[in-house]
Amino acid sequence: MLNDEKVILEERQGEVHENDTSTDLVGSKKLYIESYGCQMNFSDSEVVASIMNKNGYSTTRDIDEANVVLINTCSIRDNAEKRVRNRLTEFKKKKNDNPDLVVGILGCMAERLKKSLLEQEQLVDLVAGPDAYRDLPNLIDEVGTGQRAVNVLLSRDETYADISPVRLDKGGVSAFVTIMRGCDNMCSFCVVPFTRGRERSRDPETIVKECQDLFSNGYREVTLLGQNVDSYRWNITNKGQIKNPEKATVNFAELMELVAKVSPDLRVRFSTSHPKDMTDDVLYAMAKYENLCNYIHLPVQSGNSDVLKRMNRGYSREWYIKRIEAIHEIIPDCAISTDVISGFCGETDLEHSDTLSLMDFVKYDFAYMFKYSERPKTLAERKFEDDVPEEVKSSRLSEIIEKQLKFSLESNKKRIGLIEKVLIEGVSKRSDEHMCGRTSRNSMVVFPKGKGLKGEYVQVKIIDCTSATLMGEEINH
């Protein structure tokens, strides 16, 4: 998630691909698309670009030449919605100059606010929820006939499995591949189950095919995306393909193996794991294949079991610690990151100190840290009072951030002197003389230009670091 409150430690989070262009796509009409929020939204925008491309739209980076402007939105915290509203107000001004311009809202805010953005606030012409993207060309036609168009139906089976996404980061090295949609977990703070609907997995054959195509097109890294990848499950008997009922399903560990086998030169990452569902089988698969990257994002949210219960997370502090121990045992050099929320309903000083002590125990390599933001209709909104004062949320968050910065720096310092295998992502954002890329553990490495080119693997000796970045020099063999 990219958000004002989210602490992004420099480049580790990756680039934000807002309104990137794809000039190789033919089409007389122009689509400008902007994405906010989680990786899933960026991935969805690529599906949208593909659907629109088949209907004669090419994407543009220049909003002033667009016929259609779409904004793919996030509802996870109030700040995320505020940013989108500001942007929509700016789009509305553009519409005053160009009345034919179609402005549409996609994603979680579209689902959450439905018709109100259209009817009460009159900010947009079109509203399409996360399962309605195939309907976009029809909705745009409806707008053309003077109507305001809405489709916010959630589906039990839409996975856009057959759609080959248009990659908006042209010439890229790393791509997102959605493997499942929706979430059935109902964490009490979270709006996602309401905006993205029920959980459903995508046909593994189409996932593997997409990864093969990406590899053939020069990509060297895929990130498999789902709200809870550990509950990925595809029932093969549904397709009548398999005779042996014992092997009638593909689970996440098996899917990872299938993708790992696409090529040893294709790195595979995934997000997000859920502590209650992450199996040892997934860890064993990671240990077995070098190209399954040594990095796990395992959101803890809180280090106190009572808070976890109120959050409806389905695990305790002790269970979480056991999962961390399993990771260390099975994959000794695995980086671990997390999400933490400060000031959830009823959180006491003591409960907060449990979060800090858990951080001391795990020593995360990286973390995304947030203040609790109450979301309408969630279980927490209905059941608990948002009673931790704003200043307390902020001061607890500062303590959490301060601790994490210390651990991120410590984690990076341990890499000094080591030789890391780095997949080059391109020229560094800060200096034309430097390249940047990631290690298997997902650390960003910056080093002076050498022989290695974008999309190639190089060995880099680490010589220095900050809390966010490793600095090194390419080793020539």
- Residue 181 touches which of ligand SF4, ligand 5AD, none (Cβ within 5-8 Å per kind): none
94 exposure class (CB count in 10 Å sphere: 0-12, 13-18, 19+): middle
Q: Kindly state the smallest distance separating residue 460's Cβ from ligand SF4, in Å.
A: 34
Q: Which one of the spans 47-55, 244-252, 369-377, 387-395 is the region binding ligand 5AD (CB under 6 A)?
A: 369-377
**Would you say 164 and 50 are in contact if contact means Cβ atoms under 8 Å apart?**
yes
Between 397 and 470, CB nearer to ligand SF4:
397
Between 238 and 398, CB nearer to ligand 5AD:
398
Hey, what amino acid is at 176? F
**Residue choice 37, 104, 172, 193 for contact with ligand SF4 (CB under 6 A):** 193
**Residue choice 370, 404, 442, 458 for contact with ligand 5AD (CB under 6 A):** 370
**Residue choice 189, 194, 219, 232 for contact with ligand 5AD (CB under 6 A):** 189
Which residues in the 51-80 window bind ligand 5AD by CB under 6 A? 76-77
Which residues in the 321-340 window bind ligand 5AD by CB under 6 A? 339
**Would you say 185 and 193 are in contact if contact means Cβ atoms under 8 Å apart?**
yes
Between 181 and 375, CB nearer to ligand 5AD:
375
**Would you say 117 and 410 are in contact if contact means Cβ atoms under 8 Å apart?**
no
Among 93, 72, 94, which residue's Cα sits nearest to residue 83?
A: 72
- Residue with the CB atom nearest ligand 5AD in the bound state: 339
Between 310 and 375, CB nearer to ligand 5AD:
375
476 exposure class (CB count in 10 Å sphere: 0-12, 13-18, 19+): exposed
Among 63, 3, 78, 79, which residue's Cα sits nearest to residue 36?
A: 3
- Residue 339 touches which of ligand SF4, ligand 5AD, none (Cβ within 5-8 Å per kind): ligand 5AD
Q: Does 380 help bind ligand SF4 (rule: CB under 6 A)?
A: no
Q: Measured between alpha carbons, how far is 359 from 340 in angstroms, rounded to an integer?
A: 10
Q: Does 275 help bind ligand 5AD (rule: CB under 6 A)?
A: no
Between 228 and 469, CB nearer to ligand SF4:
228
Q: Measured between alpha carbons, how far is 426 from 465 in angstroms, rounded to an integer?
A: 19
Q: Measured between alpha carbons, how far is 77 from 2 in angstroms, rounded to an integer?
A: 10
Among 100, 108, 40, which residue's Cα sits nearest to residue 66?
A: 100
Q: Does 160 help bind ligand 5AD (rule: CB under 6 A)?
A: no
- What is the per-residue burial (b if ≥16 Cβ within 10 Å, else e) of 34-54? bbbbbbbbbbbbbbbbbbbbe
**Residue choice 31, 80, 179, 187 for contact with ligand SF4 (CB under 6 A):** 187
Q: Which one of the spans 194-202, 372-380, 408-416, 439-447 is the region binding ligand 5AD (CB under 6 A)?
A: 372-380
Contact set with ligand 5AD (CB under 6 A): 1, 76-77, 189-190, 299, 301, 339, 341, 370, 372-373, 375
